[in-house]
Amino acid sequence: MRKKFFSSILSVLLAVFLAGCVPMVLVAVGAGAVGGYAVSRDTFEGMSSKGQDELWDAMGHVASIMGTINESDRKKGEMIATINGARVTIDIIPVNLTTTKLRIKARKGIFPRIAVAQDVYTKIIHQLEQ
C-alpha cells in the first residue's frame, strides 16, 4: 500500500516536471517564510496582508533603487520599470479587505526572467517588514 502511494506521487511529480510547468518556490525572508510562487516562466506572485498604499510605497522604493521606473498608475495598481535590463511589471491586486496579491512579471525582449521577478518580489516584501 505504501509503495503504491509513493509511486503514485512520484508519477504525478514526474508528469508535472516533464510538462514544463514551473515548480512552486518559497522565498524565505527575515524571521518567517513569506510564500511566493512562480505562476509562469516570467511571473512571480504572492499574498500580503499589507494595505495597497504600503505596497505601492514599498514597490516604488524598491523599483527606483533597483532600476528605473518607466510608468506608474497608482489607480490601476501597476508600475512598469526597467531592472537589470528586463521590463518588469509590478501589479497590486486587491483580493479582499485584508489581503492583497503582489504580482511581478519580468521579461528581457521575448525571454522570461523569473529570477529578476523573484528578486524584486523578495525585496518588496523585505521592505514591507522594515
Tell me if 4 is assigned to some domain.
no
Cα 52-56-22 angle, rounded to 5 deg: 90
Tell me if 13 is assigned to some domain.
no
* CA nearest neighbour of 79 among 61, 60, 94: 60
Tell me if 7 is assigned to some domain.
no
Tell me if 5 is assigned to some domain.
no
Q: Alpha-carbon distance 110 to 63, whole Å?
A: 21
Number of domains the chain contains: 1
Tell me if 12 is assigned to some domain.
no
Q: Alpha-carbon distance 70 to 81, whole Å?
A: 5
- pLDDT at position 72 is 93
Asked if residue 104 has pLDDT above 90, the reply is yes
Tell me if 15 is assigned to some domain.
no
pTM exceeds 0.75, yes or no: no
Tell me if 14 is assigned to some domain.
no
Domain enclosing residue 62, as ranges:
20-129
Tell me if 3 is assigned to some domain.
no
In CATH, what number is assigned to the domain containing residue 29?
Answer: 3.30.310.80
* 72-89 residue pLDDT tens: 999 999 999 999 999 999
Asked if residue 20 has pLDDT above 60, the reply is no
Q: Alpha-carbon distance 58 to 128, whole Å?
A: 6
